[in-house]
Structure 1
């Protein structure tokens, strides 16, 4: 086939013009004669082919029509939580990898993200004939901590079962789990508005946990071209807990909030060190719908291996809408297992839904019962420390943080940011002393929280892709240095701009640890505020020639405008800050003086 010239291809794509040279469609052939007798290289004068619109114009018209019809308008997530006339029911199964050194039934060590494939494997992991499972007691410690955090009842005796299925990721042909006699039952988690639940659930909702069971993980499968699968058996036998909820969730956002809360709880008690972003936690959701007013639950489908909070919410919405469409069309929802891909808009069928009979559950004859003493449960419960909800309440009530900021401190750096905040706060309060600390109330705590969240966040965002930058913020910026910066800022001895410059220099290693004050001295960055007369002088110069802006304040004073022109005032404050010396002006003082000067000018009728 001859190569199409670039110019012709461009005309076709952008304007819809087609070169007719040599084309049969360019001629009107008599029906009685074959077209081959009329082949010609001359352009046709026939007008039988309708003119075509440029492609770009067609797309523009389609987009305009879609916008006018309203079909192309993207719904907000708050609008996707309910469907009129229908009720959604969701149950969740969460698989979380436990924080242990050994596998569940072998002495092989657990794998890390950078481990070479098939290097952490024992004979039992590969189902070598003659090998036997040997329960590793240390795996029980993080599992019990997790169950306590989930408010479960720890069972004195639990047993292991075999769940049979044939797949290449399970060498023995069965998975060892705790189906009939799990080690923990009857738990609950309370989700609050700050956790991100749907508005329809009100201020809080309680989600019941049916059971928590221990089980072994399967091999990791990596797809290759040509229908080839690579298997890494490092993950076989890695200890997991499976958390199974009751069908208490009725909104997609609440389901995502539940998974997020579980991850936070597991990390806070050191039961699970890897989250969804690292593959250490996966969620399966069971979705069913029924018409409003019905009491019997609809047929449920299961969506497997959701790997992000957004995927949990989006997959539930897509599957709910699919089931409603099937029922409204007079069809029947089939019980099946479905899959979800990131970025997709609908779930896809994987296989029919397996049941208890399909898996042929049976007690494992090679493993005895697991006996958990009350002394172990009491010791782990007393040594865990404060759980996230109690910690967040403490931040809100004692330090005046907003619920959003308190939750962010708990989530950042896998829980390390909250400890960093406390370290900075302790250093700052030590510098302020008890008397000055009491006088400033919660201001110093809010100042420390703001910088630990937002200012440090800006630094990590700007340098996220740079090599050689340590991921731990306390390594790059020692808490003692940030506390020193905030101490001088709190006492108005430096400006906010100087404080940010100091933070950046510390982050880059340009200021040695413990030398914040010396650096300010050397660079002459101390704040020497202007006198009241100097502020007034600058304010008078700033408002000269700003009659239009002053007119906005005049209209507000005369009652012609309901809202005070705060934006105009800040515009003038910005001009004033630029007009004065950089190390001599405080924005709050400049705003106060400028507001008073404007009032004086308007009172004099100027």
Structure 2
């Protein structure tokens, strides 16, 4: 076998970069790839569509087309959460300098051999178990041959014939966002899950030049292949979303679609609905969809295109098509004359992969609760909405819901009550952890680029559990106002309280932030002041057909503006005004008329 040194590897890397820049004569270094947030991409595309006078069709009521049946199968590629690549000891790379995480085998240097990195199997197995798959005792690796600049060896190592997991399923419920036509739930079969290599990253440059970053070559992926059992676009998007949530929950996937760690290819076909026994129509494949919205939109567009072709007497060609964010149509990438011949063959350099039952049992027992179970508990015990429960379990890789449990325990200790005995307090905690904490680092916040710092054990570096529990406790027991509570939240987030005061309580005491609410008499006097000169508004409450809620809130708003805001509870102000209108102000108005 040939012997190689570090200088030899550097030489090959240099040659690879030069080859990728065949038409490029400059010597400028590879610029870092700028990540454009998905939200900005969508906004920019919407502006282009508006400028061009085009409007996108809304997805509402667009799940079915009368007389036609849609069938979709999905292939999901997810990068595994591992420190090493699949067949080399090179470390996996995230935003490292290009071509700095590369081993000899990654570049297919002659004489180098694949060495299966056993630790990459653990997250793959966790993913298979989360998808209810049957783990195969023996699986094997195959070579999938094709030639492209992003694949140095001319083949990809995958598991085509004998994957490590088969025959799984994923259950989607209405709360997951499936189409209404699928009712309360639907089960989609998983044909197989296989491990395989990723390819190099291609960086397109002006003038038809492409630069290559080989850091990603050999990164471990799993490919999840569903059965063609999906019949509505929204359900397809819900499945991809659910898979991402599951993979995150079991610490299997590096990142989600928004960060490029998960990609989806969809196979779409249509047939007339009057003959369910007829064979499925010719399918087309839409490659590399990078958001849940793109999955739904692309399927709708391709379905409508195929139906239009068939209704005009045309024939659907087997082909690969592409999709761009904000588009209204798929575009042809390349044709397929029959099945592509990848010349699959067993990899002669890799032994069969043997997985022991004891390892599978250990992972199954130690995997913990899956998101559906935890969502059910949140809905049942705390009466959270399905949307809020799902958000809590999905955010921050499951760390935010762990933070919620810790805050709930701390609140229960302060209240001296079991959690379920005081739902309002814990619903308040869930609301704040979802929304108020999110506002601290939202795009409109001055701290937009900062992180909250959640940890796997449910702690938060910027907002310690005990301090948030204190704020929520004093707010729930009406010792402070919502305005003061939000100001305290910012102070804790900024780190001021640990420097100046021993605790949240210390800050409230020192600054006298306690809520000294108005008495009933003071509320009544304030209501009189707010109604003064507002006869036209009060007249709206005389013999009304529909209660003028807007006018009521106008008068309540005047109470808050005229009085000491720090001593007013808006709900109590509304209660006093609502009672006084029919008992006092309306009769007085009638008497004066």
Which residue of 92, 105, 108 maps to 1:110?
Answer: 92
Does residue 348 in structure 1 map to residue 328 in structure 2? no
Aligned residue number for residue 141 of structure 2: 160
Displacement of 1:475: 2.2
Does residue 516 in structure 1 map to residue 490 in structure 2? no
Aligned residue number for residue 421 of structure 1: 404
8 A contact 2:452–2:463 mirrored in 1: no
CA distance in 1, matches of 2:232, 2:389: 24
CA distance in 2, matches of 1:500, 1:572: 25
CA distance in 2, matches of 1:213, 1:374: 18
TM-score normalized by the length of structure 1 = 0.84
Q: How does 1:73-92 map to 2 (within 5 A)?
A: 75-92=57-74
CA distance in 1, matches of 2:450, 2:140: 47
Which residue of 287, 294, 302 maps to 2:268?
Answer: 287
CA distance in 2, matches of 1:274, 1:446: 29
Does residue 382 in structure 1 map to residue 365 in structure 2? yes
Residue deviations 1:407-463 (CA, integer Å, cap 9, x gap): 11122223222122122212222222237x665x21111010111111112221156
Does residue 95 in structure 1 map to residue 77 in structure 2? yes
Q: How does 1:137-156 map to 2 (within 5 A)?
A: 137-156=118-137
SS in 1 for 2:171: strand
Q: Residues 250 and 406 from structure 1, CA distance in 2 versus in 1: closer, same or farther, beyond 3 angstroms?
A: same
Residue deviations 1:311-362 (CA, integer Å, cap 9, x gap): 1111111111111111111110000111112222211111123765610111
Does residue 332 in structure 1 map to residue 315 in structure 2? yes
Aligned residue number for residue 127 of structure 1: 108
CA distance in 2, matches of 1:355, 1:586: 71
Which is worse superposed, 75-84 or 396-405?
Answer: 75-84
SS in 2 for 1:83: coil
CA distance in 2, matches of 1:90, 1:503: 47
8 A contact 2:381–2:420 mirrored in 1: no
Aligned residue number for residue 151 of structure 2: 170
Displacement of 1:547: 2.1
CA distance in 2, matches of 1:196, 1:535: 46
Aligned residue number for residue 215 of structure 1: 196
Displacement of 1:484: 0.7
Residue deviations 1:248-280 (CA, integer Å, cap 9, x gap): 111111111111110000000000021111111
CA distance in 2, matches of 1:355, 1:428: 63
Aligned residue number for residue 515 of structure 2: 527
CA distance in 2, matches of 1:462, 1:335: 43
Does residue 265 in structure 1 map to residue 246 in structure 2? yes
SS in 2 for 1:489: helix
8 A contact 2:441–2:447 mirrored in 1: no
Q: Residues 463 and 417 from structure 1, CA distance in 2 versus in 1: closer, same or farther, beyond 3 angstroms?
A: farther
Q: Residues 585 and 454 from structure 1, CA distance in 2 versus in 1: closer, same or farther, beyond 3 angstroms?
A: same
Aligned residue number for residue 277 of structure 1: 258
Displacement of 1:502: 1.0
8 A contact 1:526–1:583 mirrored in 2: no
Which residue of 513, 516, 535 maps to 1:547?
Answer: 535
CA distance in 1, matches of 2:522, 2:244: 56
Q: Residues 484 and 388 from structure 1, CA distance in 2 versus in 1: closer, same or farther, beyond 3 angstroms?
A: same
CA distance in 1, matches of 2:134, 2:420: 43
Displacement of 1:544: 2.1
SS in 2 for 1:534: helix
Does residue 239 in structure 1 map to residue 220 in structure 2? yes
Displacement of 1:566: 2.1
Q: Residues 467 and 550 from structure 1, CA distance in 2 versus in 1: closer, same or farther, beyond 3 angstroms?
A: closer
Aligned residue number for residue 253 of structure 1: 234
Residue deviations 1:159-202 (CA, integer Å, cap 9, x gap): 11111101111111111111110111111111111111111111
8 A contact 1:540–1:597 mirrored in 2: no
Aligned residue number for residue 502 of structure 1: 488
SS in 1 for 2:286: strand
Which residue of 414, 433, 443 maps to 2:416?
Answer: 433
Aligned residue number for residue 6 of structure 2: none
Residue deviations 1:468-499 (CA, integer Å, cap 9, x gap): 63353622222221111111001100111111
Q: Residues 94 and 388 from structure 1, CA distance in 2 versus in 1: closer, same or farther, beyond 3 angstroms?
A: same
CA distance in 2, matches of 1:546, 1:74: 47
Q: Which aligned segments of 4 or more residues in structure 1 are displaced greater than 6 angstroms?
A: none
Q: Residues 415 and 355 from structure 1, CA distance in 2 versus in 1: closer, same or farther, beyond 3 angstroms?
A: farther
TM-score normalized by the length of structure 2 = 0.86
Q: CA RMSD in A?
A: 1.9
CA distance in 2, matches of 1:489, 1:122: 57
8 A contact 1:338–1:350 mirrored in 2: yes
Does residue 362 in structure 1 map to residue 348 in structure 2? no
CA distance in 1, matches of 2:183, 2:355: 38
Q: Residues 194 and 375 from structure 1, CA distance in 2 versus in 1: closer, same or farther, beyond 3 angstroms?
A: same
Displacement of 1:217: 0.7
SS in 1 for 2:529: helix
SS in 2 for 1:411: helix
